[in-house]
């Protein structure tokens, strides 16, 4: 039996949206709640969230604030800050544009589990393609299509320079290109309502080395998260992806099964049945999320065991200590000390 589908995206992509919308006085936290995102995501975006919720937030805010080019505008201004540190590192390690875009394509699934990029050469032209998670018509599609394109364009400009413009940009969304697109890329041809999404550029550029960007804020490295709630890659199986998604909800209290069912667009009964078929349970998934969060906080913060236990849902520190020992074979204090010793080696 095929596993249930749960596409996930790194919530770090939302940081420039939070900043942009907050400066406008837009109700960001209300939009977060409406889109079924964890309330803590504004302060701790280094986590995975359901892709549909991420898209819904962007789409809802674009509509409610009447900013039809929100994805393009924020994606362009966000630059490298829209990307996870791992993806930026892959660009920095590359010796040429070709290697950089190959690296980008190899790790893009870490940013969004079902997104893909690839290169195709046709004579003197190269096309950098994008495959998105959902089809046109899903809330937020148009905004996130331009968002993805701007991430790809930033990767190219990392080597070609901040003023570089593509030959053409092809998108699946119908209707005219945003006016801002013509302002930013006046030399490019825009193909709307196409079967494929891509950016085209001359083949001769593939050998370019890193460009100089000076103090351009678009090419500043993203700041690391304080706690680092996120995993490095999306889990391969449904149960562990659900565990990854539920982790940031723990700051809001124990995540009810109805909340989890809503994230995967099903009923609580169906969700619990699917988890049983996979050899686990909803309680086991939540316990895994609690353990993940507890171990990360023990190794990456100075919070006390009692404070950490309270965050992951244990009001009694002794209950947390017993549960932690059951899972790890150590008390929270012993675990923290062992990790500190390991880091010193």
pLDDT in tens, 62-107: 999 999 999 999 999 999 988 888 889 999 999 999 999 999 999 9
Which of these ranges, 72-86, 102-116, 161-175, has the smallest mean pLDDT? Answer: 72-86
Strands 168-170 and 197-202: antiparallel
Distance, in Å, from the CA atom of 69 to the CA atom of 90, rounded to the nearest integer, reads: 29
The answer to which of 179-188, 194-203, 226-235, 260-269 has the lowest mean pLDDT is 226-235
- State both tokens at 12: 């770090």
For the chain, the straight-line distance linking the first and the last C-alpha, in angstroms and rounded, comes to: 45
Closest to 154 (Cα-Cα) out of 144, 164, 145: 164
User: Are 7 and 46 a contacting pair, CB within 8 Å?
Assistant: no
**What residue ranges do the domains of the chain occupy?**
8-219, 238-344
Among candidate residues 322, 333, 260, 345, the one with its CA nearest the CA of residue 295: 333
pLDDT at 2 over 70: no
Spatial neighbors of 340 by CB under 8 A, at least 6 apart, are none
* Domain 8-219 and domain 238-344 have a common topology: no
pLDDT band at 271 (very low <50, low <70, confident <90, very high): very high
Tell whether the model's pLDDT for residue 232 goes beyond 80: no
| pLDDT digit string, tens, across residues 12-44 | 889 899 999 999 999 999 999 999 999 989 888
**How far is residue 231's CA from residue 228's CA, in Å, rounded to a whole number?**
8
Residue 133 gets the label, from left (phi > 0), alpha (psi -120 to 50) or beta, of alpha
Q: With contact defined as beta carbons under 8 Å apart, do 201 and 182 qualify?
A: no
18: which residues sit within 8 A by CB, 6+ positions away? 28, 42, 45
Q: How do beta strands 189-191 and 116-122 pair?
A: unpaired
Q: Between residues 317 and 63, which one has the greater pLDDT? A: 63
What was the pLDDT predicted at 224?
59
Give the DSSP per-residue string, 195-253.
Answer: SSEEEEEEGGGGG--PPP-TT-GGGSPPPPPSS--S-SS--SSHHHHHHHHHGGGGGGS
Q: 157: Cβ–Cβ under 8 A, 6 or more apart, which residues? A: 164, 211, 218, 219
Place of tokens 């320079």: 161
Which is nearest to 148 in space by CA: 191, 194, 105?
105
**Secondary structure (3-state) at 114:** coil
Other beta carbons within 10 Å of 215 = 6
At the second CATH level, the architecture of 8-219 is Alpha-Beta Complex (3.90)
CATH class of 238-344: mainly alpha
3-class secondary structure per residue, 239-278: HHHHHHHHHHHHHHCCCCHHHHHHHCCCCHHHHHHHHHHC
CB 256 within 8 A of CB 43: no
């Amino acid at each position: 039996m095929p596993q249930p589908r749960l596409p996930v995206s790194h919530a770090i992509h939302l940081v420039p949206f939070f900043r942009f919308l907050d400066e406008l006085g837009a109700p960001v936290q209300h939009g977060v709640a409406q889109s079924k995102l964890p309330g803590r995501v504004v302060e701790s975006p280094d986590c995975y969230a359901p892709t549909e919720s991420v898209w819904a937030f962007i789409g809802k805010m674009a509509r409610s604030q009447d900013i039809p080019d929100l994805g393009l505008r924020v994606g362009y201004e966000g630059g490298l800050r829209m990307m996870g540190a791992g993806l930026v590192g892959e660009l920095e390690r590359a010796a040429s544009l070709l290697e950089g875009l190959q690296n980008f394509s190899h790790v893009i699934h870490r940013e969004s589990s079902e997104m893909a990029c690839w290169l195709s050469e046709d004579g003197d032209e190269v096309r950098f393609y994008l495959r998105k998670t959902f089809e046109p018509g899903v809330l937020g599609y148009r905004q996130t299509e331009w968002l993805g394109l701007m991430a790809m364009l930033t990767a190219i400009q990392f080597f070609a320079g901040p003023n570089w413009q593509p030959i053409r940009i092809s998108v699946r969304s119908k209707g005219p290109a945003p006016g801002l697109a013509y302002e930013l890329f006046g030399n490019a041809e825009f193909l709307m309502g196409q079967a494929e999404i891509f950016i085209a550029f001359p083949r001769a550029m593939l050998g370019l080395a890193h460009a100089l960007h000076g103090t351009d804020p678009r090419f500043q490295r993203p700041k690391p998260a304080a706690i680092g709630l996120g995993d490095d890659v999306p889990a391969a199986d449904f149960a562990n992806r659900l565990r990854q998604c539920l982790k940031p909800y723990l700051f809001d209290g124990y995540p009810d099964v109805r909340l989890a069912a809503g994230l995967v667009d099903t009923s609580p009964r169906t969700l619990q049945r699917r988890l049983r078929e996979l050899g686990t349970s909803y309680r086991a998934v939540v316990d895994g999320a609690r353990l993940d969060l507890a171990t990360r906080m023990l190794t990456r913060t100075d919070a006390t065991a009692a404070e950490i236990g309270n965050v992951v849902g244990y009001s009694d520190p002794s209950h947390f200590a017993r549960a932690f020992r059951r899972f790890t074979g150590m008390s929270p204090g012993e675990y923290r000390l062992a990790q500190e010793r390991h880091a010193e080696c």
